[in-house]
């Protein structure tokens, strides 16, 4: 038998009840889980940086550049899971050169470009320009030239120009916040606007995606801050962790509320799709929804964060707990993406059957590929932190 | 005081201008020539799609030489099933009937591809049998005539 049919035949043996023929195989696999997860990290990390800048939260200062560089590293990779999931990846650029206004994906390409080029790169550039000019004067050889090129030849560091750096950077931040909202709202919209799928189709989905994005981005920045401090053998500032922890707590509460609202709404409406969704949630999604997303990713972190606001004795223990909380939250948000993307394809649109999903290890849309796209941004981040070390920046008076 | 434009602005404007020009130039070369000829797609794709060789002749083509079989088939339950559903693509055979052989399906699996028990199909739409129970050890066509299933061979 043709290997493709053999594959379908094998899954067919695991199908339950009645499903339509085109529902045997999941069209969107693990890479489509990774994609909203990564864009979420970008939007979340950026929003944390913006909080510091717009609301002048002094205490978060040490995480500002880390958050921006984290956002950039993940943004550079954000489209890759999508592209590697295509069967003709070499044609991906066509969506950009002949975009169709009715294609959500094509417009997303431009939202992405706008966010990359106009928001993130510019904000980082304005922030680092002064330091890069200084570094290009200090360094020798190749590095000197790299910094020179990065400044785009603007090496004026008179107070007036520096002042403009900050002013323009501020404007970009203001523009950036709605852009970050749009970027991730868009990802949610792509799912929320699919009216054929009752598990996705909901106007709340973009907002839920946005808040879970913030949750994951903040947790990631907290994690990166701790790891970077540890690697540099610098003490982790507990006040910073407490401040981030507070934001994480509030946004996690909001996220949890919104998601519960969505579910309660579903339960109360109890449309004709409700029976199958009930079976889905209590069956195939039980572990990833209730255990991973609900308990591990939400309830335990919430309780721990409350506890940490009161518990102020053993510093080491507090830091360890923050570390664990951020990891748990990331696991929770990843599971949320999984529940949305995979969950939405497991039940038949006839509402009377299920297919099953087995992740492959190798191949263009296998687990290894997904892990690769998750690890690559960490490598990029390490490189960026080496190229543009926040701790070596030129101090500026406020 | 003279109107002041910070040096960053002019330089960035230049960088963006270069970027956008580059994009437009690339776009100029990358967009296929016939794009938009008829709609939001490559016009020449219509010609491409007309290129593939024809495999199926349609069952009307078979009747010219095999009217006897059609007469049988038309009387029985398989009347709605076209010849090439079972015999596969027949265009070559229609053109060169002497030399080009067409598939002559055989075996229990073949009939089973439509008649095997399947929870996804309604029994009232297509009759199903259990391949592991229904007269095992014998080929279907030893009893049923494929063109006229209820005309049993003895």
Least confident of A155-164, A257-266, A338-347, B111-120: B111-120
B119: contact with A, CB 8 A cutoff: yes
Residue B145's domain comprises 105-154
* Closest alpha carbon to A266 in A281, A256, A251, A254: A281
Model confidence at B109: pLDDT above 80: yes
Render pLDDT for A7-25 as a digit per residue (tens, 0 to 9).
766 777 788 888 888 888 8
Whether residue A140 contacts residue A134, with contact meaning beta carbons closer than 8 Å, is answered with: no
Q: Determine which of B7, B44, B123 to mutate to test the interface with A (most A C-beta atoms within 10 Å).
A: B7
Tell me the shortest Cα–Cα distance from B59 to chain A, in angstroms.
Answer: 27
**Among the partner residues A18, A97, A152, nearest to B15 by beta-carbon distance:** A152
Residue A258's domain comprises 34-89+96-384
At residue A103 the predicted structure's pLDDT band, cuts being 50, 70 and 90, is confident
Q: Which residues contact B154 (CB under 8 A, 6 or more apart)?
A: none
Whether B89 and B122 share a structural domain: no
User: HSE-up of A250 (CA within 13 Å, CB side)?
Assistant: 6
Q: B129 - beta bridge partners?
A: B116
Model confidence at A397: pLDDT above 70: no
> Do A153 and B40 make contact, defined as CB atoms within 8 angstroms?
no
Cα–Cα distance for residue pair A315/A308, rounded to 1 Å:
11
Greater pLDDT, B25 or A26: B25
At residue B14 the predicted structure's pLDDT band, cuts being 50, 70 and 90, is very high
- Kindly state whether residue B126 falls inside one of the protein's structural domains: yes
Phi, psi for B39 (deg, rounded to 5): -175, -160
Instruction: Provide the ipTM.
Output: 0.79
CB atoms within 10 A of CB A264: 10
Helix axis angle for A30-54 and A159-192, nearest 10°, is 140
Render pLDDT for A280-291 as a digit per residue (tens, 0 to 9).
999 899 999 999
Cα–Cα distance for residue pair B103/B91, rounded to 1 Å:
12
User: HSE-up of A49 (CA within 13 Å, CB side)?
Assistant: 32
CA A59 to each of CA A50, A64, A241, A242: distance values in angstroms, whole numbers, following the listed order: 13, 10, 10, 10
- Kindly state whether residue B45 falls inside one of the protein's structural domains: no
At residue A301 the predicted structure's pLDDT band, cuts being 50, 70 and 90, is very high
Helix residue spans in A55-158 (DSSP H): 61-78, 80-85, 94-97, 104-113, 121-138, 141-150
Model confidence at A80: pLDDT above 60: yes
Whether B78 and B60 share a structural domain: yes
Domain's final residue, options B103, B121, B137:
B103
DSSP label of A16? E
> Do A98 and B26 make contact, defined as CB atoms within 8 angstroms?
no
Locate the chain B residue with the closest alpha carbon to A157: B7
Phi, psi for A284 (deg, rounded to 5): -65, -25
The rounded mean pLDDT for chain B is 90
Model confidence at A184: pLDDT above 60: yes
Angle at the Cα of A311 (from A307 to A316), degrees rounded to 5?
110
Render pLDDT for A356-396 as a digit per residue (tens, 0 to 9).
888 888 777 789 999 999 999 999 999 999 999 998 888 76
Tell me the shortest Cα–Cα distance from B34 to chain A, in angstroms.
Answer: 12
**Sole residue written with tokens 């004067």:** A137
Locate the chain B residue with the closest alpha carbon to A167: B6
Render pLDDT for A110-128 as a digit per residue (tens, 0 to 9).
989 999 988 999 999 999 9
DSSP label of A351? S
3-state SS string for B22-87: HHHHHHHHHCCCCECCCCCCECCHHHHHHCCCCCCCCHHHHHHHHHHHHHHHHHCHHHHCCHHHHH
- Kindly state whether residue A9 falls inside one of the protein's structural domains: no
At residue A398 the predicted structure's pLDDT band, cuts being 50, 70 and 90, is low
- Kindly state whether residue B17 falls inside one of the protein's structural domains: no
Sort out which chain A residues have CB atoms less than 8 A from B31's CB and list them: 97-98
Cα–Cα distance for residue pair A213/A41, rounded to 1 Å:
6
Q: Is residue B39 classed exposed, middle or buried when 0-12, 13-18 and 19+ CB atoms within 10 A define those classes? A: exposed
At residue A204 the predicted structure's pLDDT band, cuts being 50, 70 and 90, is very high
Tell me the shortest Cα–Cα distance from B69 to chain A, in angstroms.
Answer: 31
Model confidence at A34: pLDDT above 70: yes
Whether B90 and B121 share a structural domain: no
Q: Could you tell me how far CA A17 lies from the centroid of its own chain? A: 36
> Do A154 and B7 make contact, defined as CB atoms within 8 angstroms?
yes
- Kindly state whether residue A182 falls inside one of the protein's structural domains: yes
Q: Determine which of A123, A152, A162 to mutate to test the interface with B (most B C-beta atoms within 10 Å).
A: A152
Whether residue A342 contacts residue A26, with contact meaning beta carbons closer than 8 Å, is answered with: yes
- Kindly state whether residue B138 falls inside one of the protein's structural domains: yes
What are the E-state strand segments in A211-367? 353-354
- Kindly state whether residue A205 falls inside one of the protein's structural domains: yes
- Kindly state whether residue A188 falls inside one of the protein's structural domains: yes
Tell me the shortest Cα–Cα distance from B154 to chain A, in angstroms.
Answer: 33
- Kindly state whether residue A3 falls inside one of the protein's structural domains: no
Q: How many domains does chain B have?
A: 2
Cα–Cα distance for residue pair A38/A212, rounded to 1 Å:
12
Whether B93 and B110 share a structural domain: no
Sort out which chain B residues have CB atoms less than 8 A from A98's CB and list them: 31, 35, 40
- Kindly state whether residue A398 falls inside one of the protein's structural domains: no
The rounded mean pLDDT for chain A is 90
Model confidence at B47: pLDDT above 80: yes
**Sole residue written with tokens 């900050």:** A166
Task: Give the SS3 label for residue A33.
Answer: helix
Q: How many domains does chain A have?
A: 1
Sort out which chain B residues have CB atoms less than 8 A from A22's CB and list them: none
Q: What is the pLDDT of residue A332?
A: 96
Whether B95 and B118 share a structural domain: no
> Do B6 and A168 make contact, defined as CB atoms within 8 angstroms?
yes
Whether B87 and B127 share a structural domain: no
Model confidence at A194: pLDDT above 70: yes
- Kindly state whether residue A16 falls inside one of the protein's structural domains: no
Q: Determine which of A16, A117, A164 to mutate to test the interface with B (most B C-beta atoms within 10 Å).
A: A164
**Among the partner residues A21, A94, A164, nearest to B8 by beta-carbon distance:** A164
Q: Output the pTM of the full model.
A: 0.77
**Sole residue written with tokens 């510093």:** A315
Cα–Cα distance for residue pair A67/A101, rounded to 1 Å:
33
Tell me the shortest Cα–Cα distance from B44 to chain A, in angstroms.
Answer: 15
Least confident of A2-6, A74-78, A105-109, A201-205: A2-6
Whether residue A383 contacts residue A51, with contact meaning beta carbons closer than 8 Å, is answered with: no
What are the E-state strand segments in chain A? 16-17, 353-354
CA A222 to each of CA A39, A122, A199, A263, A325: distance values in angstroms, whole numbers, following the listed order: 17, 23, 32, 29, 10
Cα–Cα distance for residue pair A208/A34, rounded to 1 Å:
17
At residue B1 the predicted structure's pLDDT band, cuts being 50, 70 and 90, is low
- Kindly state whether residue A19 falls inside one of the protein's structural domains: no
Q: B33 - beta bridge partners?
A: none
> Do B12 and A152 make contact, defined as CB atoms within 8 angstroms?
yes
Model confidence at B154: pLDDT above 70: no
């Amino acid at each position: 038998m043709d290997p493709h049919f053999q594959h379908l035949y094998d899954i067919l043996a695991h199908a339950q009840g009645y499903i339509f023929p085109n529902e045997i195989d999941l069209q969107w696999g693990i890479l489509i889980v990774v994609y909203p997860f990564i864009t979420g990290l970008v939007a979340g990390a950026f929003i944390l940086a913006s909080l510091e800048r717009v609301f002048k939260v002094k205490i978060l200062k040490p995480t500002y550049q880390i958050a921006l560089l984290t956002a950039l590293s993940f943004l550079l990779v954000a489209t890759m899971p999508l592209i590697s999931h295509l069967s003709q990846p070499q044609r991906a650029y066509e969506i950009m050169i002949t975009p169709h206004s009715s294609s959500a994906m094509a417009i997303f390409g431009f939202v992405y470009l706008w966010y990359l080029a106009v928001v993130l790169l510019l904000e980082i550039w304005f922030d680092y320009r002064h330091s890069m000019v200084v570094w290009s004067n200090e360094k020798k050889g190749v590095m000197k030239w790299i910094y020179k090129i990065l400044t785009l030849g603007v090496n004026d560091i008179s107070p007036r120009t520096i002042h403009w750096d900050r002013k323009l950077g501020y404007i970009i931040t203001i523009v950036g916040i709605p852009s970050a909202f749009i970027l991730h709202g868009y990802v949610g919209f792509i799912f929320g606007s699919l009216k054929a799928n009752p598990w996705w189709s909901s106007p709340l989905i973009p907002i839920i995606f946005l808040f879970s994005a913030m949750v994951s981005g903040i947790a990631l920045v907290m994690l990166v801050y701790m790891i970077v401090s540890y690697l540099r053998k610098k003490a982790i500032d507990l006040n910073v962790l407490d401040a981030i922890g507070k934001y994480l707590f509030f946004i996690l509460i909001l996220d949890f509320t919104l998601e519960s609202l969505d579910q309660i709404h579903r339960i109360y409406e109890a449309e004709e799709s409700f029976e199958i969704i009930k079976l889905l949630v209590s069956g195939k999604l039980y572990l990833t929804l209730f255990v991973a997303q609900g308990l591990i990713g939400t309830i335990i972190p919430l309780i721990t964060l409350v506890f940490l606001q009161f518990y102020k004795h053993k510093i080491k223990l507090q830091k360890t707990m923050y570390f664990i909380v951020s990891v748990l939250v990331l696991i929770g948000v990843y599971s949320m993406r999984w529940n949305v993307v995979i969950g939405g394809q497991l039940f038949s649109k006839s509402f009377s059957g299920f297919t099953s999903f087995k992740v492959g290890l190798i191949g263009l849309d296998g687990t290894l590929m997904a892990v690769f796209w998750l690890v690559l941004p960490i490598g990029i981040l390490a490189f960026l932190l080496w190229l543009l070390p926040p701790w070596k920046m030129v101090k500026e008076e406020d | 005081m003279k109107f002041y434009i910070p040096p960053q602005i002019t330089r960035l404007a230049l960088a963006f201008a270069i970027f956008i020009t580059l994009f437009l130039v690339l776009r100029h070369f990358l967009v296929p020539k016939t794009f938009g000829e008829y709609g939001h797609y490559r016009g020449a794709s219509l010609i491409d799609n007309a290129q593939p060789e024809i495999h199926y002749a349609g069952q009307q083509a078979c009747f010219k030489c095999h009217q006897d079989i059609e007469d049988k088939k038309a009387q029985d339950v398989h009347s709605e099933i076209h010849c090439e559903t079972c015999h596969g693509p027949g265009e070559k055979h229609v053109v060169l009937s002497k030399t080009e052989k067409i598939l002559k399906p055989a075996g229990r699996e073949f009939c089973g591809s439509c008649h095997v028990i399947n929870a996804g199909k309604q029994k009232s739409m297509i009759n199903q049998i259990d391949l592991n129970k229904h007269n095992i050890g014998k080929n279907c066509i030893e009893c049923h005539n494929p063109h006229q299933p209820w005309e049993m061979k003895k």
